[in-house]
Amino acid sequence: MDTKAKRQELVKGLSDYFNGDISRVKRFASQLKSLGFDLNDFDTLCQLERNGEALIVLLGLSNFGVLKTVTDCIMYIRGHQSADEYIKEYGDRIKSMPPPR
């Protein structure tokens, strides 16, 4: 099996998981890329397949919106998101959090 076929297999599985909603598949793939996964690399695709339980955890985090927050933080740290946009999106949440004890 080559990289293209392995990637198609992942896309099909994610499409089934997201009930055919391709926009959610694309969003999740983008989140995986933000986390550093190269979805054009055969070995990476094989690792995702072999460790499906971890992929399921990432899907769960994505479903609850947590993975988006993590990937937004990574993109911000890497300089791919403007500070104003980031602060606008997360500033109110951060201000409303109680201080750590």
Could you tell me which residues come within 8 angstroms of residue 43 by beta carbon, excluding any fewer than 6 positions away? none
Confidence band, pLDDT 50/70/90 cuts, at residue 26: very high
Locate all alpha helices (DSSP H) within the chain, ordered by sequence.
Answer: 3-17, 22-34, 42-50, 52-63, 66-77, 83-96
- Judged against a pLDDT cut of 80, whether residue 94 lies above it is answered with no
Percent of the chain with pLDDT over 70: 100
For residues 81-96, give the mean pLDDT.
76
